[in-house]
Structure formats: C-alpha cells, structure tokens
A and B are shown apart, each in its own frame.
Chain A
C-alpha cells in the first residue's frame, strides 16, 4: 500500500504530465528541430532531402553585411521602444494613481485600448494614417503645423520612425498596467512619513516609488525587450514586409522573409538561433544584475 506522501507525489506527477507533454511538443521539439535545421542545407531545392552541413549557415549569416545593419537597427528599435514604453507607461500610471484624478476607471479603459485592440488592426490603421497624401498624420502636419508633408512609408529613415511610433502607441499600456499594479502595492505610510519629513514629490518618486516599482518593472521590461525584439507584426504590416527596400527590417522579420519568401530554411533557422542566443544571454544578464527575482520588502 503506497504511503500518503507517495500518493500525493503520484497525483502531482499526474497533474504535471499533460503540461509537460504539451511543453515538449510545442516548445522543446520545435526548438530542437530549429537548431538541427540551422546546421542543414534545407532550402527550396532541398526541402525534402536536406543534410547537415556544419556551421556554413552561421558563417553565411555573420558574413552578410545586411545582418549587421539589421542587428544594429533591431537594437535601436528595441531600446527606443522600451524607453518610451516605460517612461510613458510609468508616467501615466503615477498620474492615474493620484487621489485627485476623477473617473480613474474610465481613464484606465481608455489608456488600455491600444493594447486591447488586435495588433494588426492598429498596425494597418497606422499604415493608412502615414500615407503621404491622404494620411491623417501628414494632414495634421501640413494643416496645423504648416510643415511640408513627410514621406513616412517611402523613405527608409521616416519609415523606421513610423514603425517606432506605431509600436510606442501599442506598447505603453502594458507598462502602465504593470506600474499601476506595482504602485497599488506600495504602502501609503511611506509617503505619509516622507511628507512629514518635508520630502518633495520629486524626491519621493526617486526614493520611494522608483525603488519599490523596480521588482515589478524589471521582469516587465525584460519581457517587453523580448517581445519588442521579436515583434514582427508591426514591422510587417506597417511597412509591408520591410519596405522600402528592406530598410525597416528587424532580425525577426528578416528571418520570416528568408524562410517564407526566399525559402532559405537552413539559413533562417541559423539566424533564429542567433536571435535566441542574443536574447537568452541578455535576459540572464539583466535579471542577474538587477536581482529582479528578489523581493524588496
């Protein structure tokens, strides 16, 4: 007769097994298959009879000039987006957290809307708004700012700016929601004590709010970085697959193009492994340096 403890363990194993099987099937297997593919010559001509060719695809990835320029662009894309997401998100969360704000529930819903809408709808709407002659953005620029219209979707720099603007719009509500949750868990006593000591609001923000938000925000920022680094939707939909002339690609959209437009499966798999390595090393370093997994009080 098994003991009570064994029964509990068996029961827990029974509960965990389905989840484990699903994880193996949808995460571990595709990941390992991708790694194997990255060492192969799989392409349109060898999609069924591919063979392992060593590190050739990785060498080809690193030798391609475009890889380095897209990597740089991806870093800029991620940094700029995250900075704006966090700054706007935390700012709005702090404002919404103030006692004097009326209709908080309404504001919250309104500010979460960009996040709640399906990404492709937002992206395609922004694409329309960036049209040179008929888009809302240029109409506003010319009518109210009396500036010349901007070639948002046809010039490389402006097109990159356009996707960043779209993604900033899409991403700040997530940071706002996380920061709002974090703010609500900070005890009021700390602010009351600071008020008694005559600390300014600015001083209170940097010495109470910011450190106590850190454990909530660091994992959110890490997630945000990974999501933004891998955000193919906005790039693909706003600039119609990296237009003009592949100048708005980030690494992940270029992987998609290599795999599904050019049928370079081995090469695309190698680039995906490189992306994974970059993100893995980065997130481990960030979490370790910031000790974000530890609580502060």
Chain B
C-alpha cells in the first residue's frame, strides 16, 4: 500500500509581496466592516424593546396589531414580538436571563412564575409600577408569590372547556353520564367499513394537563400546599379508569389522541366535541357553528370537572436596563389596559382581568365569553410552585403507559406519585 502525504500549505515561496499587501488590505477592510456592523446595532438596542410570547393564531394577529398601535404612538422605540412555544419560551428565557440577556418582557401563563422567581430571572412588578397600576385588576389578574407581585395579566384563562359543534350537539352535556350517552350516539361508522368516521369526543389525551378536569371531577388533585404530589389515591385511579372507559368501553374517543390529531378531527367535523382551551377558539370559529360550554359535572361524585385556571400576562426580565423601565411600564400599562382587554374580549372571547371590562356590556354580548366565565367559576387555580414541573413530568410517563394498556390504573397512580417524588428529590441534587 502506498501512502501519499500532501502538505496543506504548499510552497511558501510562491506567495509574493504584492499579493501579501493586497491580502492584508482586504483583512483590514473586513475588520473595519465587522467593527461597523457590530457598532450599529448597539445604538439601536437602546431603542428596542423585545417581548417573547406564546400567543398563537388569531390571538397573535391581534397582539401584533396592538403592538403596532403602540409603536405608532411611540416612534422613538421599536417594540419587537418574538413567538416561542410555551415550554421553549420558559426554558430559553430562564437560560438567557441567567446569562444576563433575554427580552425585556416575557408574556406567558402564570405557572411560569414559580420557575422564573426561583431562578431570579424576573423582577417584582412593584419595582416597575406604582400602587395605582394594580388597582385596575381583579385579584386573579396580578400573580403574586412569596409576598411580591410578578405578573400582570391581560386575561384569565388558559382553561380547558368543552367546545362543541352546534350542528351535531344542540345542547351541551351537563353531566359525564350525558357526555357518554351523547358521545355514543354521535360515534358513527357511516360507510360501514368497520372504522369510525365520526367520534363523539376527542382531546389530547397524551398530555396530563388535559387529564386534570377528569381528576378533579373524581375529587383528586395534583399537589398539596407543601409542594408534595398527591396522586397515589382512589380519586386518581377512578379518573384514569374513566378516561380508559371512554376509549375502550364506551368507544367514544379515537384510539390515539395527540393535540394535532384531536384538533384536526374537530376542525374537519369528524368529532362532535373537543376539550380545548381559549387559544384554540379563534381557529374553531367560536362563537358560531362551534360553541363553548363548561365541562360537565360528575353526577357520581357531585363534583365539577374543573380545569386548571391560570392568568396569562406580562413579567419583566430582571436584566431590563433601568433606562428602559419607563417605556416598559408604558407598554405593559397599555397592553393590560381596559381598552386592549375589551378588544381582546370582543374579538377573541378572552376573559378580562380589568374590573372596568368585567362590568361592561361586552361581557354579556358574547355567548362564548359568558360560557368561558362560567368555566372559570368551576376551575382551580394552577399551582405556581416550581415542583409542578417535576409533577407534570412524573405524571406524563405513567399516564401514557396506562393509555397504552401497559399498566393498570392502580399501577399508574402509584407510579405517578413515585416518579413525581423522585423528580422533586433529583432536582435538588
């Protein structure tokens, strides 16, 4: 075997002085260009306010419109909005803020507050606003923890409701029994090929967040006041068994149900009802052919199927430059104002946090909003303790295994508890 060695530099003597000079000149030019390009954005950054948010579809369009209006009124600043998916939003924000970077403002659900406060990545709003600012909100509109205020919400919600197709479901079910009966009559194999062409109900039953209304309907909950999981009990077992029965006994939900499939089935009118939150209503054309109703009551326990309720709003990065605080204050003030919240309630059916809007006629004029407020009455505040992250992770695996038929409902409840406890312990190492 012949080994060939090739020198990468080649013959040095071939490089003449004129070539060297020209190349050096080129290097200098490139260096100057780099300097110039790195200098210009620094000037701009004083005038730029960035918001990271997780608003989607119709909500995002309106959000951009509102920011545009603010920008027009404040031409000396540029407000930029950057969308990030919810998990990514929180994770990237924490990483960026710990490194002294990140956007000036983050918009998201209140359960992010626990993580953001623990990691010291947001500043208390008391440092930004005077007491008069907080007076415009109902108590749930300002998210407090450890005796400080961290998030100013423009809506209460993030809550799951029952969305139904009025062509197929003239009156929404009031109880779980009615839901099952209605689901059975609406699940159909119209062309006789042995496959269901229409289901009664669907939702993302791979994600434990969507399991919460069933858990609460059977009297269960996920966490106690000390931040310990409360999952290994009869209530969890019965709730899991009920979800399994919906699929395997009553056969009113599809065999597989992730978010995308559930969403697509409802949009294509291949399912009569879906469990989904306010972020989806715009895409479903609510109010209209599709409508919203509170999730049913469990007649067996007498308990409502209560979804988790959380406020969604604005928090300020701990690294926000002091000279930007006045414009940040003005921006959040505008984006949580009664005017903006009323527009959101009218166009998106979001539930406002401003007392002025809650007592205005707009609340009665929109049937979806009325139903949404009824659901909020039958909801439970989403815990903001950071342990919730570990509990969600602990629940997810066993919940998926039980839905696959790999373990029983009893075993799933046991494993949820065990894994959540382990995750909490591990996160302290």
Which A positions have Cβ atoms within 8 angstroms of B? 4-5, 7-8, 11-12, 14-15, 41, 43-45, 47-48, 56-57, 60, 128, 131-134, 151, 153-156, 240, 243-246, 260-264, 266-267, 294-297
State A128–B423 Cα separation when bound (angstroms): 31
What residues of chain A lie closer than 8 Å to B17, measured between beta carbons? 4, 7
Q: Give the residue of B3, B12, B260, B389 whose beta carbon is less than 8 angstroms from that of A262.
A: B389
Which residue of B has the minimal Cβ distance to A244? B400
A35 to chain B minimum Cβ distance, whole angstroms, is 18
In contact, A45 and B427 (Cβ under 8 angstroms): yes
Give the dominant DSSP class at B's interface: helix
State A245–B394 Cα separation when bound (angstroms): 9
In contact, B390 and A262 (Cβ under 8 angstroms): yes
In contact, B119 and A151 (Cβ under 8 angstroms): no
In contact, A43 and B23 (Cβ under 8 angstroms): no
Verify if B118 is at the interface (C-beta below 8 Å from A): yes
Which residue of B has the minimal Cβ distance to A155? B404
Closest 7 CB pairs of A and B: A245-B397, A244-B400, A132-B256, A260-B91, A245-B401, A154-B404, A295-B4
Q: Give the residue of B9, B27, B258, B426 whose beta carbon is less than 8 angstroms from that of A264.
A: B426
* Contact indicator per residue, chain B 395-429, by CB within 8 Å of chain A (1) or not (0): 01110110110100000000000000001001111
A34 to chain B minimum Cβ distance, whole angstroms, is 13
In contact, B389 and A47 (Cβ under 8 angstroms): no
Give the dominant DSSP class at A's interface: loop
In contact, A263 and B20 (Cβ under 8 angstroms): no
In contact, A297 and B206 (Cβ under 8 angstroms): no
Verify if B115 is at the interface (C-beta below 8 Å from A): yes
What residues of chain A lie closer than 8 Å to B277, measured between beta carbons? none
Which residue of A has the minimal Cβ distance to B424? A262
State A266–B12 Cα separation when bound (angstroms): 48
What residues of chain A lie closer than 8 Å to B4, measured between beta carbons? 295
Verify if B1 is at the interface (C-beta below 8 Å from A): yes
Verify if B15 is at the interface (C-beta below 8 Å from A): yes
What residues of chain A lie closer than 8 Å to B9, measured between beta carbons? 12
In contact, A262 and B119 (Cβ under 8 angstroms): no
In contact, A43 and B254 (Cβ under 8 angstroms): no
What residues of chain B lie closer than 8 Å to A131, measured between beta carbons? 256, 261
Given A48-B119, A154-B404: A243 in contact with B206 (beta carbons within 8 A)? yes
Known: A47-B119, A48-B119, A260-B87. 5 other contacts (CB 8 A): A8-B12, A12-B9, A133-B255, A134-B261, A244-B206
Given A240-B206, A245-B396, A262-B393: A44 in contact with B386 (beta carbons within 8 A)? yes
In contact, A262 and B428 (Cβ under 8 angstroms): no
A114 to chain B minimum Cβ distance, whole angstroms, is 22
